Copies of this chain bind each other. A is one copy, B any other.
Amino acid sequence: MARTAGSFGGVTGPRVLSTAQRLFARHGYAAVSMRQIASEVGVQAGALYNYIPDKQSLLFDLMRTHMDEVLQAWEDEPHPTGDPLAELEAFTRFHVRFHLERREAVFIAYMELRNLDPENLEALLARRKAYEESLTDILRRAKAARLVSISDPKVAAYGVIAMLTGVQTWFKDGGDLSREKVADIYWEMTRGAVGAMRG
């Protein structure tokens, strides 16, 4: 019980995380009990504490892991350097794709900030800021090269990220638009929003 971070090895560990994610996303952190998570995983409530000291740690672990995965995935994403508009396109397509693939995690990342303890919130916001900064940095360089017509790269980054993240509130596979087509549309909108020339 003294551990502050989870240890999710073995077969059951990952199931604890995925079950908690699904339940938090569906019902909200506050409405879900450790007992309920244990029951869905199929273990005694007490056994959960072999994996995680408490519900707060479980929430933080999910949110931190999500942000670390976003940051790592963007770092690993092939994207050109030295051409800010090409980087902006890569970021746009990456963000749309990643956020459509991780809906539950994204949902929790936005919904449950208010339920994080102060030091966990601080750690989470630092990661989010790092991610936003990667876009702001692209926009700052695009502005310096006079490739875009934005006045404030930071505000533009907020606007673009909000617009792109919104895709997961309405997109459904099997509808009129493929994920690729949707990414095309969002890239058109992003390029326009920052005042880059339309191709």
Contact = CB atoms under 8 A, between A and B. Distances in A.
Indicate how many identical chains form the complex. Answer: 2
Q: Which applies to chain A's interface (DSSP): helix, strand, loop or mixed?
A: helix
Nearest to A185: B155
B193 A163 contact: yes
Contacts of A182: 155
Interface string A5-42: 00000000000000000000011111100000000000
Contact of A186 (B30, B149, B159, B186): B159
A198 interface: yes
A81 interface: no
In this complex, the member of A27, A114, A182 whose beta carbon has the largest number of chain B beta carbons within 10 angstroms is A114
Nearest to A28: B30
A189 B194 contact: yes
Interface in A121-160: 149-152, 155-156, 158-160
B189 A159 contact: yes
Contact of A162 (B165, B188, B198): B165
A14 B115 CA distance: 27
A162 B169 contact: yes
Contact of A195 (B31, B160, B167, B198): B198
A169 to B, nearest CB: 7
Interface string A172-199: 0000010000100110111011110010
- Name the 5 nearest CB pairs between A and B, nearest first: A162-B166, A30-B31, A163-B163, A192-B192, A193-B193
Given A162-B163, A189-B194, 8 more contacts: A26-B114, A30-B31, A150-B189, A155-B185, A159-B189, A163-B163, A188-B195, A190-B193
